[in-house]
Amino acid sequence: MNAPAPKTIYLKDYQVPDYLIDTTDLNVDIHDGYTLVSCMLALRRNPAAKQAATELTLQGADLELVSLSLDGRLLEEGDYTFGEESLTIFNTPETFTLITITKIKPESNTSLEGLYRSRTMYCTQCEAEGFRKITYYLDRPDVMSEFTTKVIADKKYPVLLSNGNLIEQGDAGEERHYAIWHDPFKKPAYLFALVAGDLAHIEDSFSTSSGRAVTLRIFVEPKDLDKCDHAMASLKHAMRWDEEVYGREYDLDIFMIVAVDDFNMGAMENKGLNIFNTSCVLAKPETTTDVGFQRVEGVVAHEYFHNWSGNRVTCRDWFQLSLKEGFTVYRDSEFSADMGSRTVKRVEDVTLLRTLQFAEDAGPMAHPIRPESYIEISNFYTMTVYEKGAEVIRMLANLLGKENFRKGTDLYFDRHDGQAVTTEDFVTALADASGRDLSQFKRWYSQAGTPRLDVTDYYDEDAQTYSLTIKQSCPPTPECQNKLPFHIPIAMGLLGSAGDLPLYLQGSQPDFETSDNTHRVLELTDAEQTFVFERVQEKPVPSLLRGFSAPVKLNYAYSTRDLILLMSRDSDGFSRWEASQQLGLQAISAAMAAYQQERSLDGFSLSAQLVDAYRRVLQDASLDQAMVAYMLTLPSEAYISELADVIDVEAIHYSRQAVRKALANALADDFTRIYQSYDHRQPYAATADAIATRSLKNVALAYLMLIHDEGSIRACEQQYRHGNNMTDVMAALTQLVNSEAPLAQEYSLAALADFFGRWQHESLVVNQWLSVQAGCQLPDTLSRVRALLQHSAYDGKNPNKIRSLIGAFCNGNAINFHSGNGEGYAFLADQIIQLNRQNPQIASRLLTPLTKWKKYDHVRQQLMKAQLERIRAEPELSKDVFEVVSKSLA
């Protein structure tokens, strides 16, 4: 008989907890092979509960109960009962003390949730529901308690950490010791953390704006001590920024980060003790790319910012996840924009959103940023909750303006400090502080799907008016067929032949006081609205959705000439980039049409006006080099696929390649000039400027490598061999690995062997080596991936290795993963079946590319579906995998 389908949890069923836990006293006694957890809870009936409860149900999973006592009385059979993942105690009084002793086995915990062992250390991951794997508890975010934690372990683990401040430490018998930590701030169990290990640390200090001294420590394995400086600098920048921009100060005497090699995601914001994936904390130029440096800065800031947006004010239930995640992503994104280039950061965020989040919104797992239901909450740490959630906050910030948004967040933090609240509470605080009516805006929280804007225009030469008619619609999603209109801010301007035109919008005042009146935000609230501009002396080209002011798809029939004007003249940097992407798409579409008609793409060429326009970008000294690099980078295969109704894998791949080759040939001189003027001996710096110049130079190299001339291939090999930083080394290696030219192939084999020989002891560098091979676009990559699974460098239990090899192949290598015979799909299903029991979260994440099966041709659909069905038929499917597979097949 099949096991019953796992239960769905609904937002509408939310009820306050029956009991509250005032204090939690934990005693975690770590031994080789097992850990004893004694947990003393001071419980009290919740005055807000509808009825006075007389029993208490605690959550617990994979625990061995050793003993249970209530107010000093040992409980016996009959006093309590076990549920599937719970323990219910009968006849519970108004207030009482409960002591549970449980035994757990961190060494055999492969799910990496709860307390587990990673290499030589013990560490925890409790969000969302991992604390129940440590002890029986009211494991829900609206139960906030004051924690005191005693950690006891052998002295071979000299570092013993938990949340809050250290209040005592000492010996605990032969070769053992203890440390007691107390966290004065009430918190939900998901923010609990504990670490025991042989760790080294760097230390610094920070003086808060009110003059309090905070000790900052980053703990790592001793071999990694030379890779912590960037994270420390980022942390201090983030602490200062949060004071300046949000008025938020840090609140404990110490802030700690611990780097762990086996970690399911990037990092975790546990109160005062952030635990990080090594990939998001360690960085040095020789081992880490520019993207890696930026990721460390962003993630360190993100986790730090959670101290207010997430910890001091937390979520009432997991449906409110975007309350803390969307807001915190918005905060970290603005921080990164302030640290580097605002336009560049915007382009990067939008690129991510429009490929991965838009695809999620159009697939079987689509959900609003505040979902209505889930089977496994781990499946809802999604691009939608995080990235679209951040876009929703960005729209609010822009609608309110800087001052009112700050008033709103101040009110939110003051009003709800120490509470577990809802997204509704957040919007209410913003509305109250600004006086704005945000009731229609709230639909962004409850309606899934990417709205589409269809824009038409009309220029009346006689009346000198220009009308923009904007229609909004939103495709149906699994849980909602008919959407009500959204409140959509559309930032815009009008371009004439000499640049931006002044805007005289009918019915509203021109703004010459705070601006030059060439930019404004239209607020679309109806299904269709017309905006009329007066005193327009020539037919303008509309610049729409500047800065990507809303997470929507915009359709306006731009001509190539319009786009070239926008790309070269728009005052908004984002719009210039967007125009470059539209132009790229037009060229790729032309190539796709030829490919689909079985015409050869050899010698495919581009119009002279397009080539000239790109050349002007390359020669425009006023532009940020990073923007030039992005404008010269064609839309990715993933983005083109997202836009397609039916994804034609080969047509997309070969057409994009053909356009790239055409650009390479047409602009070879400019690319050569850029490449050769770069001084490879300059010392590495992770500044925005240095990153920008490097990225443009490496874009130039990538184009030059498509020409297959010996000079470029040799230059690439030289860059691999002599590059003084990992960005340049990886850029060169990637080009060698992906080039069809025989000489490059020869170099690539030598370089791959050399690279591994040089870096085999640096796990994070080996991950890059795995990824570059898994991402190889040439034939036969799957065999190489299979061989790498057996390589000593691979570890099938380590999420970073799994992502670097299997993830990189299945998500970043469409032409090979989607190979027509379906072997890529079968390969992925094999991996998921194997991971299902070992690490359900990772297994479920890996499923994503198969869930998109409906977007492919009939043959691929059948092949993908067959693999999903094969997974579904597996016995003992985890809730995580079950939910994604069953929704995909529904």
Query: Residue 327 or residue 747: which is nearer to ligand B3K going by CB?
Result: 327
Among 127, 242, 572, 578, binds ligand B3K (CB under 6 A): 127
Closest CA to 353 of 362, 365, 341, 364: 362
Shortest Cβ 471–ligand B3K spacing (Å): 36
Coil, strand, or helix at residue 596? helix
Shortest Cβ 376–ligand B3K spacing (Å): 10
Query: Residue 302 or residue 803: which is nearer to ligand B3K going by CB?
Result: 302
Shortest Cβ 325–ligand B3K spacing (Å): 5
Say which entry of Zn ion, ligand B3K, none residue 642 contacts (CB below 5 to 8 A, set by partner kind).
none
Among 30, 104, 128, 392, binds ligand B3K (CB under 6 A): 128
Query: Tokens 């502080």 label which residue?
Result: 433
User: Which residues have CB under 8 Å from 213's CB, separation 6+?
Assistant: 205, 206, 207, 253
**Total residues contacting Zn ion (rule CB under 5 A)?**
2
Shortest Cβ 309–ligand B3K spacing (Å): 10
Say which entry of ligand B3K, Zn ion, none residue 25 contacts (CB below 5 to 8 A, set by partner kind).
none
Q: Is 378 in the site for ligand B3K (CB under 6 A)?
A: yes
Which residue is nearest to ligand B3K, using beta carbons? 127
Distance CA 726, CA 766 (A): 12
Query: Residue 267 or residue 732: which is nearer to ligand B3K going by CB?
Result: 267
Distance CA 294, CA 298 (A): 6
Shortest Cβ 274–ligand B3K spacing (Å): 9
Coil, strand, or helix at residue 262? coil
Say which entry of ligand B3K, Zn ion, none residue 127 contacts (CB below 5 to 8 A, set by partner kind).
ligand B3K
DSSP codes, 821-861? TSHHHHHHHHHHHHHHHH-HHHHHHHTHHHHTGGGB-HHHH
Say which entry of ligand B3K, Zn ion, none residue 214 contacts (CB below 5 to 8 A, set by partner kind).
none
Q: Are 276 and 299 in contact (CB under 8 A)?
A: yes
* CA dist 780 → 361, 583, 731 (Å): 32, 33, 22
Which one of 219-227, 263-271, 784-792, 831-839 is the stretch in contact with ligand B3K (CB under 6 A)? 263-271
Shortest Cβ 633–ligand B3K spacing (Å): 28
Distance CA 354, CA 346 (A): 12
Q: Are 24 and 41 in contact (CB under 8 A)?
A: yes
Query: Residue 328 or residue 641: which is nearer to Zn ion going by CB?
Result: 328
Among 151, 189, 216, 265, binds ligand B3K (CB under 6 A): 265
Closest CA to 216 of 208, 205, 225: 205
Written as six digits, the tokens of 488 are: 């959509």
Neighbours of 259 (CB within 10 A): 27
Distance CA 786, CA 524 (A): 51
Residues within window 289-318 making contact with ligand B3K, judged by CB under 6 A:
302-303, 306
* CA dist 815 → 26, 212, 588, 867 (Å): 52, 56, 16, 18
Among 116, 293, 374, 381, binds ligand B3K (CB under 6 A): 381
Say which entry of ligand B3K, Zn ion, none residue 316 contacts (CB below 5 to 8 A, set by partner kind).
none
Query: Residue 37 or residue 275: which is nearer to ligand B3K going by CB?
Result: 275
Shortest Cβ 817–ligand B3K spacing (Å): 25
Say which entry of ligand B3K, Zn ion, none residue 128 contacts (CB below 5 to 8 A, set by partner kind).
ligand B3K
Distance CA 880, CA 867 (A): 17
**CA-only gyration radius of the chain, Å:** 28
Q: Is 728 in the site for ligand B3K (CB under 6 A)?
A: no
Distance CA 726, CA 720 (A): 9
Burial (Cβ within 10 Å: 0-12, 13-18, ≥19) of residue 298: buried
Query: Residue 191 or residue 664: which is nearer to ligand B3K going by CB?
Result: 191
Say which entry of Zn ion, ligand B3K, none residue 772 contacts (CB below 5 to 8 A, set by partner kind).
none
Query: Residue 452 or residue 837: which is nearer to ligand B3K going by CB?
Result: 837
DSSP 8-state code for residue 357: I
Shortest Cβ 190–Zn ion spacing (Å): 12
Query: Residue 136 or residue 330: which is nearer to Zn ion going by CB?
Result: 330
Among 143, 258, 268, 429, binds ligand B3K (CB under 6 A): 268
Distance CA 273, CA 194 (A): 8
What backbone phi and psi angles, to 5 degrees, belong to 813?
Answer: -140, 65
Shortest Cβ 265–Zn ion spacing (Å): 9
Coil, strand, or helix at residue 813? coil
Written as six digits, the tokens of 582 are: 């539209």
Which one of 139-147, 197-205, 260-268, 420-428 is the stretch in contact with ligand B3K (CB under 6 A)? 260-268
Query: Residue 328 or residue 804: which is nearer to Zn ion going by CB?
Result: 328
**Total residues contacting ligand B3K (rule CB under 6 A)?**
12
Distance CA 807, CA 596 (A): 29
Shortest Cβ 378–ligand B3K spacing (Å): 5
Distance CA 805, CA 811 (A): 10
Among 221, 242, 269, 648, binds ligand B3K (CB under 6 A): 269
Which one of 132-140, 242-250, 261-269, 515-523 is the stretch in contact with ligand B3K (CB under 6 A)? 261-269
Shortest Cβ 687–ligand B3K spacing (Å): 26
Query: Residue 268 or residue 652: which is nearer to ligand B3K going by CB?
Result: 268
Query: Tokens 């504990």 label which residue?
Result: 194
Which one of 7-15, 264-272, 282-290, 437-445 is the stretch in contact with ligand B3K (CB under 6 A)? 264-272
Burial (Cβ within 10 Å: 0-12, 13-18, ≥19) of residue 173: exposed
Alpha helix stretches (DSSP H) within 705-822: 710-722, 726-738, 742-759, 763-774, 781-789, 799-802, 808-812, 814-817
Which one of 262-270, 447-455, 696-704, 823-831 is the stretch in contact with ligand B3K (CB under 6 A)? 262-270
Which one of 265-273, 360-368, 605-613, 637-645 is the stretch in contact with ligand B3K (CB under 6 A)? 265-273
User: Which residues have CB under 8 Å from 525's CB, separation 6+?
Assistant: 440, 485, 487, 488
Residues within window 300-359 making contact with Zn ion, judged by CB under 5 A:
325, 328
Query: Residue 328 or residue 580: which is nearer to Zn ion going by CB?
Result: 328
Shortest Cβ 343–ligand B3K spacing (Å): 25
Peptide bond into 685 cis (omega under 30): no
Query: Residue 378 or residue 804: which is nearer to ligand B3K going by CB?
Result: 378
Residues within window 323-342 making contact with ligand B3K, judged by CB under 6 A:
325
What backbone phi and psi angles, to 5 degrees, belong to 282?
Answer: -80, 135
Where in the sequence numbering do the catalytic residues fall?
Answer: 303
Say which entry of Zn ion, ligand B3K, none residue 268 contacts (CB below 5 to 8 A, set by partner kind).
ligand B3K
Shortest Cβ 126–ligand B3K spacing (Å): 9
Counting DSSP H helices and E strands in the chain, the numbers are 30, 33
Query: Residue 328 or residue 719: which is nearer to Zn ion going by CB?
Result: 328
Q: Is 881 in the site for ligand B3K (CB under 6 A)?
A: no
Say how many CA atoms lie within 13 Å of 778 toward its Cβ. 15
- Note the residues at the interface with ligand B3K (CB under 6 A): 127-128, 265, 267-269, 302-303, 306, 325, 378, 381
- Note the residues at the interface with Zn ion (CB under 5 A): 325, 328
